[in-house]
Structure 1
Amino acid sequence: MFNNSISISVSDEDSDDLAGKMRVRVRRKRKKSVFRGKNELAQRLLRKLLRWWPVLLFLPAAGLLMFEASRIGRKPSPVLVSKLASQKEPKPVVEKKSEANLNRLDPTTRVIGGVRQRCLKLLPPEELEHLDIPMDKQPVNPIKKVVYISANDTPYVEGNIILFQQHTEATRFNLFTGNQTLEQREKSYKVDETAIVHCGFYSENGGFKISDEDKNYLQTCKVAVSTCAFGGGDDLYQPIGMSEASLRKVCYVAFWDEITLAAQEAEGHRIGENQFIGKWRIVIVKNLPFRDQRLNGKIPKMLSHRLFPHARYSIWVDSKSQFRRDPLGVLETLLWRSNSVLAISEHGARSSVYDEAKAVVKKNKATPEEVEVQLSQYRHDGLPEDKRFNGKKALSEASVIVREHTPLTNLFMCLWFNEVVRFTSRDQLSFPYVLWRLGVLKNINMFPVCTRKDLVNSMGHIRKAKPLTS
């Protein structure tokens, strides 16, 4: 039998040398494998980084979003709120439209025939300073004189029933207006050399009382710019853009009631000892004739020839606007240059009375019943649905009225006022009717919307006017 085992003779010295060599080899092998492992791990990590780096970049942002989402519905700590508030930039102040419009003098323009032109072409300032007011001009018209119906303080009586007293809303006629019957209304439209018409200020006890001092001042005015604010509805805006000549020759008068006076004093706007606030002479009116403040506002708007008995010209500006042009220049541009006796701002949205009536009802500015009464009367009288009279747009916006005080324009304004009292206070509805019915007022300047915008800065109504309570 063969023995497969092999014996090797090894001495102690040799065995130590061999063991040492083997240990060295083992160490070398171990060192090499560790180094190689680290190399491979680094390479694997590098490959992973190259592959997933977009994800790693996204993780912090995602964590922040999750953190913010978790805060929704929780109140931040006072410390954090304080810190954020200190770092927060202040918000820019956003100016209201009305405040942005105040005191603007820039001209309003429009494109005509491909050329941009100014809507209101005023004379140069040096010419305005030397502009004469034509006081002796005698306009040619069929009406030479207007007589206003007046009576004593006894109210109208039918049977034993007193029909017309102050603040009577059933008819709206009262001791200020007098009782215009339908028969008298018909006669008032007949053109004669002497016109007889109701025109407010019917009796001494009719209301709209102003002091004797104010009456005396109003009688000195030859040219007047006027406005009014009844019921505390609007602030007073100082006129701008006038020449020194206009400041000397023109009266600026604002009519207030006691409600407006109290409201303005609460805002710190007090009347000076000379009865002025800025350029406006303030006239306080007591005992207003109507509960409806819109009706009270029609008195200075339409009856300026009664309030300024010696004035030859007047300009009316609604209280929601700031007059911003030279009044003498406005008279020259809108009246004298075109040989007109009345200039009024035309309506920007509509041309037909009947379309305007629908809009009035839709906007709740009058009841359907009272509008229908007015339209029924106008249809009965034959008012056409034409959108233009004498080639001019008939429907007016009427926030600016420029006029010469002639017998014809005075009669026109009286007739217009009576229609407003009889029907609705929406004067846009009655203006075309009176213009059509009177028939003889031809030289009227219905100026466009852009001209009105050049005349005034539109501020809008500030507060709702308070009605009278007694």
Structure 2
Amino acid sequence: MFHDHHNNKSVSISVSDDEPDELGKMRVRARRKRKKLSHKRFLRNFLFKYWMLLIIIPAACLLIFEVSAISRKPNPNLKQVNSETITRESRHSLGNEEVHGNLNRLDPTTHVVAGVRERCLKLLPPEKLEQLDIPAEEGSSSPIDKLLYVTSESDTSFLGGNAALSQLRTEGTRFNLFTGNQTFEERDKSFEVKETTTVHCGFYSVNGGFKISDEDKSYMQACKVVVSTCAFGGGDDLYQPIGMSEASLNKVCYVAFWDEITLKAQELVERRVGENGFIGKWRVVVVRDLPFSDQRLNGKIPKMLSHRLFPQAKYSIWVDSKSQFRRDPLGVLEAVLWRPNAVLAISEHGARGSVYDESKAVVRKNKAKPEEVKVQINQYRKDGFPENKRFDGKKALCEASVIVRKHTPLTNRLMCVWFNEVVRFTSRDQLSFPYVLWRLEAFKNINMFPVCTRKDLVNSMGHIRKAKPLQG
């Protein structure tokens, strides 16, 4: 209440509690304005400090999305396998076991070349794959015209079959009736370039082991192109090949070599050979009387001596039992042999390039006995084998889980002398391959393809279980 003293009158002005205080409103507005200015200054300072991150992070996320999309993109050059077929083949391949994550994958493997992402294995499109055929034989310029194999039908100075164990204990050698007793002088001669060359190459005697039924032999002799694998000692399962064209299905043999140990192991998981000798697309050939106690050595026979097992075949593709072959065989031949004009294609080693470095890794990882590796490496040094990691610009150390080759006298001789090296020294074939290439100076037209190409050729599963040795 205010009093007017001049008029001596009292004027009453009431202030209602419901009306806002003007001064309070001004203070609220001021606080809001300061807060708003503070937010603006914070945003401005943040953008000034971190503007590069705001650009880089979305760009990186976009790049990751694009790369993953490319890897998931279906390959237009491959025939798609429907889910029913994959499920059926998966069950057929693995029985009641859980399907491996890599099984039946057909997606391409890619790498970046000059800033552009490309497929590692450049196959022809599907319509051209269906038109592929085995090329007609042409005149050869090979320095070797004829290859002869050392054989004996009567020599009994070496023990064959599982009895090789006793010979190994008494004489310290792995040569037997299957291999013949190659001397060091004969070893040196096997590397010489002659029009007609004689070489030890397994199957020395009919009593030397690796026995195959006449029915299986008849089937194998009719093969012109073959994809082969083996599982001795029950160490691996059998994976059905995928990604084939109809042309390849009609022209290519698929042969898997088993011993009786593997046969029994597979029957235990309900995986049995049919009356026609097949499991899926594989013709299963059961081998009896294996010549070596070391199952790794027995596995080198179908791996390296396919020209002896398939005498009429013109081409062969070897696939380790730990892998699933997932490409069209004729398409692979065209891509890695015919197109680059090569007679042998094999994958480069992914980790090392020197035999001497590899020998240390083999010992360190307990892949072979140190004394055996020492004998082999000392012999290679004595022979003058260089420290070079490359021959003719190519990485010589190989990862030999996939071997693609044309059967010629030159490639057959290479596989023979390579086989003899793993019998003489260690079964680690990476150690002897560069040495063999070095000794065979005439061998030039070889395709050492990169690791990513090998990964495109197969789905890798790894070994399932340890292989059981033969009992002597």
Bin for the TM-score computed over the shorter chain:
0.7 to 0.9
Paired residue for 2:430? Answer: 428
Aligned counterparts, 1:275-286, within 5 A: 275-286=277-288
CA contact (8 A) 1:226 1:317 kept: yes
Q: Per the alignment, in what secondary structure is the counterpart of residue 101 of structure 1? A: coil
Larger Rg: 1
Aligned counterparts, 1:287-306, within 5 A: 287-306=289-308
Paired residue for 2:18? Answer: none
Paired residue for 1:457? Answer: 459
- Aligned residues: percent identity? 75
CA contact (8 A) 1:323 1:457 kept: yes
Aligned counterparts, 1:349-388, within 5 A: 349-388=351-390
- Distance, in Å, in 2 between the alignment partners of 1:97 and 1:124 is 33
Paired residue for 1:166? Answer: 164
Paired residue for 2:193? Answer: 191
Q: Which amino acid counterpart does residue 406 of structure 1 have in structure 2?
A: T
Query: Residues 97 and 263 from structure 1, CA distance in 2 versus in 1: closer, same or farther, beyond 3 angstroms?
Result: closer
Residue 97 of structure 1, CA deviation:
11
2:324 aligns with one of 316, 322, 325: 322
Paired residue for 1:156? Answer: 157
1:336 aligns with 2:334: no
CA contact (8 A) 1:139 1:406 kept: no
CA contact (8 A) 2:333 2:404 kept: yes
Q: Per the alignment, in what secondary structure is the counterpart of residue 195 of structure 1? A: strand
Paired residue for 2:271? Answer: 269
Paired residue for 2:208? Answer: 206
- Distance, in Å, in 1 between the alignment partners of 2:219 and 2:344 is 25
Query: Residues 423 and 468 from structure 1, CA distance in 2 versus in 1: closer, same or farther, beyond 3 angstroms?
Result: same
- Distance, in Å, in 1 between the alignment partners of 2:152 and 2:230 is 27
| TM-score normalised according to structure 1 size | 0.77
Paired residue for 2:34? Answer: none
Residue 104 of structure 1, CA deviation:
0.1
| TM-score normalised according to structure 2 size | 0.77
Paired residue for 2:106? Answer: 105
CA contact (8 A) 1:166 1:176 kept: no
Aligned counterparts, 1:18-417, within 5 A: 99-156=100-157, 166-167=164-165, 168-169=167-168, 170-417=172-419
Q: Which amino acid counterpart does residue 347 of structure 1 have in structure 2?
A: H
- Distance, in Å, in 2 between the alignment partners of 1:369 and 1:253 is 36
- Distance, in Å, in 1 between the alignment partners of 2:309 and 2:136 is 18
Q: Which amino acid counterpart does residue 141 of structure 2 have in structure 1?
A: V
- Distance, in Å, in 1 between the alignment partners of 2:293 and 2:104 is 33
Paired residue for 2:90? Answer: none
Q: Per the alignment, in what secondary structure is the counterpart of residue 99 of structure 1? A: coil
Residue 165 of structure 1, CA deviation:
6.3
- Distance, in Å, in 2 between the alignment partners of 1:99 and 1:151 is 46
CA contact (8 A) 1:371 1:423 kept: yes
CA contact (8 A) 1:257 1:284 kept: yes
- Distance, in Å, in 2 between the alignment partners of 1:434 and 1:230 is 26
Paired residue for 1:8? Answer: none
CA contact (8 A) 1:155 1:165 kept: no
Residues 347-377 of structure 1 show CA distances to partners (whole Å, capped at 9, x for unaligned) of: 0000000000000000001111110100011
Q: Per the alignment, in what secondary structure is the counterpart of residue 380 of structure 2? A: helix
Q: After TM superposition, what 4+ stretches of structure 1 lie above 6 angstroms from structure 2?
A: none
Q: Which amino acid counterpart does residue 441 of structure 1 have in structure 2?
A: F
- Distance, in Å, in 2 between the alignment partners of 1:377 and 1:102 is 42
Paired residue for 1:438? Answer: 440
- Distance, in Å, in 1 between the alignment partners of 2:101 and 2:374 is 40
- Distance, in Å, in 1 between the alignment partners of 2:153 and 2:463 is 38
CA contact (8 A) 2:164 2:293 kept: no
Residues 150-192 of structure 1 show CA distances to partners (whole Å, capped at 9, x for unaligned) of: 01232238xxx99x96333220000000000001001111100
Q: Per the alignment, in what secondary structure is the counterpart of residue 254 of structure 1? A: strand
Unaligned runs of 5+ in 2: 1-96
Residues 115-134 of structure 1 show CA distances to partners (whole Å, capped at 9, x for unaligned) of: 00000000011101111211
Query: Residues 97 and 391 from structure 1, CA distance in 2 versus in 1: closer, same or farther, beyond 3 angstroms?
Result: farther
Residues 404-431 of structure 1 show CA distances to partners (whole Å, capped at 9, x for unaligned) of: 0000000000000000000000000000
- Distance, in Å, in 2 between the alignment partners of 1:122 and 1:98 is 27
- Distance, in Å, in 2 between the alignment partners of 1:152 and 1:129 is 45
- Distance, in Å, in 2 between the alignment partners of 1:424 and 1:246 is 36
Q: Per the alignment, in what secondary structure is the counterpart of residue 218 of structure 2? A: helix
Q: Per the alignment, in what secondary structure is the counterpart of residue 255 of structure 1? A: strand
Q: Which amino acid counterpart does residue 185 of structure 2 have in structure 1?
A: E
Residue 136 of structure 1, CA deviation:
1.2
CA contact (8 A) 1:165 1:174 kept: no
Query: Residues 97 and 376 from structure 1, CA distance in 2 versus in 1: closer, same or farther, beyond 3 angstroms?
Result: farther
CA contact (8 A) 1:98 1:458 kept: no
- Distance, in Å, in 1 between the alignment partners of 2:249 and 2:138 is 23
- Distance, in Å, in 2 between the alignment partners of 1:313 and 1:137 is 14
The two structures, once aligned, show a CA RMSD in angstroms of 1.6
Residue 139 of structure 1, CA deviation:
3.0
Paired residue for 1:20? Answer: none
